[in-house]
Homo-oligomer: A and B are copies of this chain.
Amino acid sequence: MARAIDFYFDFSSPYGYFATARIDEIGRKHGVPVRWHPILLGAVFKITGAGPLPTLPLKGGYFTHDVPRSARALGLPFTLPARFPFGTVTACRAFYFVEKSDPAGAVRLARALYDAAFGKGRDICPVEAVVGIAAELGFDPDWVQAGIQAHETKELVKTEVDAAIGRQVFGSPFFFVDDEPFWGHDRLDQVDLWLEKGGW
C-alpha cells in the first residue's frame, strides 16, 4: 500500500497546472494523501542544461500548440500570462510559509496561484500579486508578506528544491508513488494504475 503521492511542480509550468485538475481526485480514489511540493525549475535546469520550453530550439514553437491544445482537451480554462516564463520564488515561499501552520491552506493557495496564472493569465511574479491572492483566500496580507521575506522561509525553499534535485526531479509536474518516479501530467494514468496495482 502506497503511503502518499509526492507532487512536484513549478508555478510557471502549465503542465503542472494541468496536473492539479486530477491529482487530488487520484489521491482520494486510493485513499492516499497528496503532498504538494512547489520547486524552482531554474535550479534544476542549471544541472540538466535544459531551459523553459519557449526558449528551446525547435521545441519552443511546439509548446504554443501543445499547451493550449492540451488545456482544451482537458476542458480547463487557459490563458498564457503576458510575462512567460515568470519567476516563482515568491509563490514558492508563500506556499511553504503558509504550509508550516496550515497545510490544507497552502494547497488552496497553490491552486489559487495556478488558477490566477494560467486560468486567468495574471502575473503572479510580484510580491503584491502573491499577497493579494492569499488575501482573497482570507490570509492576513501582512502575515503572508512577512512570511515571504523571512530568512527561515527562504531556507525552507532551498531545502525543498535541493531535496527534489536529490530525488532526480528534472521537470514539472513530477510525481512519486513511494519511490517510483513519473514525469508529466500525461503519466497520471500510470500513477493511478500504480496505486491500484502496487506496480505491474
Contact = CB atoms under 8 A, between A and B. Distances in A.
Contacts of A200: 69, 72-73
Contact of A62 (B44, B62, B65, B170): B170
A183 interface: yes
Interface residues of A, number: 30
A186 interface: yes
Interface in A40-83: 44, 47-49, 56-59, 61-62, 65-66, 69-70, 72-73
A183 B63 CA distance: 10
Contacts of A58: 44, 47-48, 165, 168-170
Contacts of A1: none
Interface in A140-199: 165, 168-170, 180-184, 186-187, 190, 193
Classify the secondary structure of A's interface with B. Answer: helix
A72 B56 CA distance: 32
Given A184-B186, A190-B69, A168 B61 contact: yes
B44 A48 contact: no
Nearest to A56: B48
Q: Which of A44, A47, A56, A62 lies at the interface centre, i.e. has the most chain B CB atoms within 10 A of its CB?
A: A62
A70 B168 contact: no
Contacts of A190: 69-70, 73
A165 B61 CA distance: 13
A143 B114 CA distance: 59
Contacts of A186: 184, 186-187
Nearest to A183: B62
Contact of A181 (B65, B73, B165, B182): B65
